[in-house]
Amino acid sequence: MIDHPKALRLVGGLAMGLVLVLPACSAVAQPRGATPPGPITIVYRDDVTNVRQLKGTARYGGLLGRDPSVSFIVANENGEQVCNGTFTTESRHAGKFSLSCFGGYFSGNGAYEQKAGDPNNSFIARGQTARGLPIMLVVGRPAGISNDQFLTP
């Protein structure tokens, strides 16, 4: 025979444990079916310097190349969120991007294309900043780009 008060306490304890654990897990989990976080380098020209490079990690809100629109957030090497943006798919290997960085201080948009030989979720995007200066996003590890290579937009 089942002791109902003990069973009720056990079920109640398990439910309370899930209530405490699940919110903590959802804050760190990526959306189901999202592209895994990966490296990104944003290379751009500005009014002050010739070329700037921002290296960090991109986290995605969907599947690159499959979802029609994928939001992304860029964290710098210190883990601080510095940019957010969107990749919009136009075909299987090409589309457009827009991004805003440093609280709207810097923004840009343009197009991307995944070339033959690029690994999945890796491509180069090119466009212009809001001031009409060149910008380039190196997403993942596209073919022909090394980790220590200095890039120009």
Place of tokens 């940019």: 83
| Among candidate residues 125, 151, 137, the one with its CA nearest the CA of residue 42 | 137
Tokens of 11: 């079920």
All structural domains of the chain with their residue ranges: 1-29, 38-139
Question: pLDDT tens digits, the chain, 153 residues: what are they?
Answer: 555 555 445 434 433 343 333 333 333 345 568 899 999 999 998 878 788 899 999 999 999 888 999 999 999 999 999 999 999 999 888 999 999 999 998 899 999 998 888 888 889 999 999 999 999 999 988 766 666 655 665
Q: Is 21 helix (H, G, I), strand (E, B) or coil?
A: helix
Residue with tokens 């827009």: 98
Helix or strand run (H / E) with residue 110: strand 106-113
CATH topology of domain 38-139: Lipocalin (2.40.128)
Give just the sign of the alpha carbon dihedral 122, 127, 130, 135. Answer: positive
